Every structure is written in C-alpha cells, then in structure tokens.
Copies of this chain bind each other. A is one copy, B any other.
Amino acid sequence: MDALSIIGIIIALGAIIGGNILEGGHTQSLIQLTAFLIVIGGTLGAIMLQTPFKVFFRSLKMLPWIFKPPKIEGDETISKIVEWSKMSRKDGLLVLESIAEEETEPFSRKCLQMLVDGGEPKAIREIMETDLTQEESRGMSAAKVYESAGGYTPTIGIIGAVMGLIHVMQNLSDPSKLGEGIAVAFVATIYGVGAANLFLLPISSKLKSVVDSRTQHKEMILEGVISIAEGENPFHIEKKLRVYLSES
C-alpha cells in the first residue's frame, strides 16, 4: 500500500480547493463540464492516436500500481537464491527442477528452468538480459504514456481557454458578461495545468520508479542464478547480492 500516493493526492487537491475557498472563490466556479470535456477528450484522443494498442492497454493496467505497487521483497529473494545455491551444490542442479515448477514469479521461474536445462552461464545471461531489457522498456513505454498526456493537457487547456476567449470577444457588446466569460475560459487552463502537474506527471514518475525497482530486483535474481550456474560459494553469493539492497 503506497500511503504517500494517497496523502499526496489529498494534500494537492486540498491545497487547490482550500486555497480557492480562502481566496473567497466558490468551489463551484472551478467545476465546469465543457472545460473538462475539452481537456480530457483532446488529451485522450491525442494519446490514442499516438500509442500502439498494447502500450495503451498496459498503461491502464499499470495505473493501480500508484496505490498498490507490486511487492518486491529483496531479503526474501536473497534467502531463496542462497537456499537454491546450497541445494544445487549438494545435490546437483537437477534438484531445482521441482522448485522451478512451483516458483510463481515468472522471471525467477524462467531463470531456474534455464539452470535445470543445463544452460551455460553466458547463454543464461544473454537470453535473460534480453528478456529483462524488453520487459523494462515495455514498462517504461507504458509509464511514459502518462508523461505524454501531461505534456498535452496544458496546451489543450490553452485551446479551451482561447476558444472561450474568442466566444467572449465576439460578444463584447454585452460587457456585463465579459468577466464571467473570461472566468469560464480560464477554468480550462486550470484543468490543463492541474491535470498535468498534480496527477499525470507525478503518476508517470512513480510508475517509472516502480518499473526501475522491479528491473533491479530481476537483475539481482539473474546475478544470483548465474552465480549458481557457475557453482559459486553460497556465502559469496549472499554477499554479492546484499550490495543491491544496501542502504548507507
């Protein structure tokens, strides 16, 4: 559970809405369907035009990670790898076959299967690094969808504002409505800038961090499995993998 994400959203919205109330504005004046339609619709359209279907779909599937990122348990993983290493040194690599079948994390399972199949360390590294790089770049592409969206909303908010201003300008004959009209036009700007800076760009950054942590965790697994393939000492393996978790 990523409490910081939830607190962040509450603080940001609270600051904007609370600030508006303190300034004496009505919260109502910030709510405007047309501006919402223009900013969300325009951005969604641009994103759909820009993004291959698979990436678009993955970016939606990854969104809940903001609140509930996938668990990454470094210590536990190291214990498991050290255990595998001990077993394989005692009874040979084939003993890992049943473990590979039971392993639920797909990357670990693939690594273990290559180990059981008697893959050379170099071959395991080559294939699994391609896998890892592909997976990372897929995750990053999906995270960047929100970054792109955050690039579009402010400018599309400006389109909404300018359209509103054009409407105002064409009705200058009734100056009593001038201020109100401009006010409505400006809401599109707030939606555009707010959507980008309070939601879309931070979401993209958080997702990138998650993808990054997962990649690093997998790198650690790969390093460990290759060390097993090379028949390294379990004690040494643990030491080597600990470095990935060290905080100083």
Interface residues, chain A, with chain B CB atoms under 8 Å away: 2-5, 7-16, 18-20, 22-25, 29-30, 33-35, 37-38, 40-42, 44-56, 66, 106-107, 127, 130-131, 134-135, 138, 148, 152, 154-156, 158-160, 162-173, 178-180, 182-184, 186-187, 189-190, 193-194, 196-199, 201-203, 205-206, 209-210, 213, 239-240, 243-244, 246-248
Main secondary structure of the interface of A (DSSP, over half): helix
- 8 smallest A-B Cβ distances: which pairs? A15-B41, A12-B45, A8-B48, A8-B49, A50-B202, A172-B179, A19-B38, A11-B45
**Alpha-carbon distance A49/B10, docked complex (angstroms):** 10
Known: A205-B51, A205-B148. A169 touches B179 (CB 8 A): yes
Known: A22-B33, A42-B15, A51-B205. A197 touches B5 (CB 8 A): no
Known: A4-B56, A8-B44, A148-B205. 15 other contacts (CB 8 A): A14-B45, A15-B41, A16-B41, A18-B41, A19-B37, A19-B163, A25-B163, A29-B166, A50-B202, A51-B206, A131-B243, A152-B197, A155-B196, A169-B186, A170-B183
User: Are A52 and B213 in touch, CB under 8 angstroms?
Assistant: yes
Enumerate 22 A-B pairs (CB-CB under 8 Å) in ascending A order.
A4-B48, A5-B48, A10-B45, A14-B45, A15-B45, A16-B41, A19-B41, A23-B164, A25-B170, A46-B201, A51-B206, A107-B248, A131-B246, A134-B243, A135-B246, A152-B197, A154-B155, A155-B196, A156-B193, A159-B193, A171-B179, A173-B179
| CB nearest neighbor in B for A161 | B162
Known: A42-B16, A243-B131. A166 touches B186 (CB 8 A): yes
